[in-house]
């Protein structure tokens, strides 16, 4: 009888509640190169990137303690209290959320090792520091979480970096996560180095590959990336596209609009041509982060027009859709507001 009553109370407490929150507050984290943050979003009012574990260098995590802290944040959300760093974020949504302890949203950004030297990379500001720092291995840490049964599918796993394919633990980490039921793994890769694990994930429909080529010509590529791998990248993209099979929207090329370097329709058209030639049917658009943060209230009209042009181009080419990342998404959502601010500033 006692067990039956206990069971009824348990079911009641597990019932989803409706309140404002997001996937990362509920069941996620972002492993950065200096700490573990809630997420990697930073364009909204609060600034994002709430720190969960400060000064993290790859040590084993007390996951029970970690989940206890996550529960505290969920309790604040239930009371209608939004964390300061989360305020204004467009990922916040009101819906029914479960109250269980598990992780199904993870982003890995904890290394800076790369086979490109992009002009817009944040490591350029402290190149001596980032070139000298050691990468740490997250495989045993996540393996423990998997063994606890606390990793689930249904969310999204992301690899940023740096270049993930250069990490010794990348292949076993990817295979472990796929074997654990993670079926939505997003890998951001330069595609300079080919990865068998990415190929497996594309074949099984568990991996989305995003390659930021940012150019339609070898000259622009070398100018932005500062390495001569343009042909190699497109050759690898063709192989990845072929590996997709029926999962034809999983391999994506990305174009980061970088004012002064590739912000014109001619370069964009050539990038679209090569994307189609490679057999890729889905694309991602963003705006360079450093430029955007400094200019978000003073964006010239031609950049808004370029985003609209990219959307129309995908429709003309019969692509499924164009996906907008953080900055481009913010720019489109607040277009009229930012234009008004710019006009007021010019009037004064």
Instruction: Transcribe 68-126 into DSSP letters.
Output: HHHHHHHHHHHTTPPPGGGTT-TT-EEEEE-----EEEEEEE-----S---TT-GGGGG
By CB atoms closer than 10 A (0-12, 13-18, 19+), residue 8 is exposed
- Does some domain include residue 41? no
Helix (H) or strand (E) holding 130: helix 127-132
Supply the CATH number for residue 145's domain. 3.20.20.70
Which has more confidence, 235 or 70?
Answer: 235
pLDDT of 43: 66
103-109 and 207-212 strand pairing: unpaired
Q: How confident is the model at residue 3 (pLDDT cuts 50, 70, 90)?
A: very low
- Average pLDDT in the 167-193 region? 96
CA proximity to 304, closest of 271, 284, 327, 277: 327
Going across the sheet that includes 28-32, the strands are 51-53, 36-37, 28-32, 103-109, 151-159, 185-188, 207-212, 251-257, 283-287, 322-324
Helix (H) or strand (E) holding 346: helix 335-347
Name 188's bridge partners.
210
pLDDT of 346: 73
- For 27, 32, 76, 135, the CA distances from 47, given in Å and listed in that order, are 20, 16, 19, 26
pLDDT digits (tens, 9 = 90+) for 25-75: 999 999 988 899 988 876 677 777 788 899 998 999 999 999 999 999 899
Q: How confident is the model at residue 14 (pLDDT cuts 50, 70, 90)?
A: low
Sign of CA dihedral 195, 199, 204, 206: positive
User: Domain containing 128: what range?
Assistant: 102-347
**How far apart are the C-alpha atoms of 321 and 66, rounded to whole Å?**
37
pLDDT score of 130 more than 80: no
pLDDT of 12: 42
- What pTM, to 2 d.p., does this model score? 0.85
Residue 324 main-chain phi, psi, to 5 deg: -105, 130
Strands in 129-192 per DSSP E: 151-159, 185-188
Least trusted range by pLDDT, from 56-60, 85-89, 176-180, 212-216: 85-89
- Average pLDDT in the 219-232 region? 97
- Does some domain include residue 14? no
Residue 216 main-chain phi, psi, to 5 deg: -120, 0
Which has more confidence, 287 or 45?
Answer: 287
**How far apart are the C-alpha atoms of 158 and 110, rounded to whole Å?**
12
Segment 239-248 long-range contacts (CB within 8 Å, at least 24 positions apart): 239/194, 239/199, 240/191, 240/198, 240/199, 240/202, 240/209, 241/278, 241/279, 241/280, 242/279, 243/199, 243/202, 243/203, 244/202, 244/203, 245/202, 245/203, 246/205, 247/202, 247/203, 247/204, 247/205, 248/281
**How far apart are the C-alpha atoms of 282 and 227, rounded to whole Å?**
25
Under a CB-based contact definition with an 8 Å cutoff, are residues 170 and 43 in contact?
no
pLDDT score of 284 more than 90: yes
| Residue in the structure block whose two tokens are 């507050």 | 25
- Average pLDDT in the 295-306 region? 91
pLDDT of 9: 40
- Does some domain include residue 327? yes
- Does some domain include residue 8? no
pLDDT of 343: 75
**How far apart are the C-alpha atoms of 237 and 231, rounded to whole Å?**
10
- Does some domain include residue 260? yes
Q: What is the mean pLDDT of the chain?
A: 89
By CB atoms closer than 10 A (0-12, 13-18, 19+), residue 174 is buried
Under a CB-based contact definition with an 8 Å cutoff, are residues 253 and 211 in contact?
yes
Which has more confidence, 238 or 339?
Answer: 238
pLDDT digits (tens, 9 = 90+) for 245-278: 887 899 999 999 999 999 999 999 999 999 999 9
Under a CB-based contact definition with an 8 Å cutoff, are residues 93 and 20 in contact?
yes
Q: How confident is the model at residue 319 (pLDDT cuts 50, 70, 90)?
A: confident
CA proximity to 329, closest of 298, 286, 291: 286
- Does some domain include residue 25? no
Which has more confidence, 232 or 111?
Answer: 232
Least trusted range by pLDDT, from 10-24, 60-74, 116-130, 162-176: 10-24
Q: What total number of domains does the chain contain? A: 1
- Does some domain include residue 316? yes
């Amino acid at each position: 009888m006692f067990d039956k009553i206990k069971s009824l109370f348990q079911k009641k407490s597990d019932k989803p509640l409706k309140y404002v929150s997001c996937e990362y507050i509920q069941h996620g984290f972002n492993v950065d190169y200096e700490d573990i943050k809630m997420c990697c979003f930073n364009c909204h009012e609060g600034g994002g990137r709430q720190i969960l574990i400060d000064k993290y260098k790859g040590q084993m995590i007390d996951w029970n303690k970690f989940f206890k802290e996550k529960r505290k944040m969920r309790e604040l959300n239930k009371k209608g209290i939004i964390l300061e760093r989360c305020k204004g974020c467009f990922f916040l949504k009101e819906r029914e959320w479960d109250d269980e302890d598990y992780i199904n949203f993870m982003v890995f950004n904890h290394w800076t090792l790369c086979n490109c030297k992009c002009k817009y990379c944040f490591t350029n500001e402290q190149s001596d520091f980032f070139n000298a720092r050691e990468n740490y291995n997250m495989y045993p840490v996540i393996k423990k979480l998997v063994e606890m049964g606390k990793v689930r599918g249904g969310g999204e796993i992301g690899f940023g970096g740096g270049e993930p394919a250069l990490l010794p633990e990348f292949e076993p980490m990817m295979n472990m996560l796929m074997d654990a039921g993670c079926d939505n793994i997003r890998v951001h890769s330069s595609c300079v180095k080919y990865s068998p694990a990415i190929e497996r994930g594309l074949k099984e429909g568990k991996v989305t590959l995003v390659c930021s080529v940012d150019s339609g010509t070898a000259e622009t590529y070398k100018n932005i990336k500062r390495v001569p791998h343009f042909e190699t990248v497109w050759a690898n993209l063709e192989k990845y596209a072929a590996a997709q099979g029926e999962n034809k929207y999983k391999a994506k090329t990305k174009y980061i609009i970088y004012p002064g370097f590739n912000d014109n329709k001619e370069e964009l058209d050539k990038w679209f041509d090569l994307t189609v030639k490679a057999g890729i049917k889905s694309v991602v658009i963003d705006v360079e982060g450093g430029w955007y943060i400094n200019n978000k209230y003073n964006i010239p009209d031609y950049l808004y027009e370029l985003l609209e042009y990219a959307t129309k181009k995908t429709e003309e080419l019969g692509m499924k859709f164009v996906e907008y990342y953080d900055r481009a998404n913010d720019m489109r959502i607040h277009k009229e507001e930012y234009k008004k601010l710019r006009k007021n500033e010019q009037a004064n």
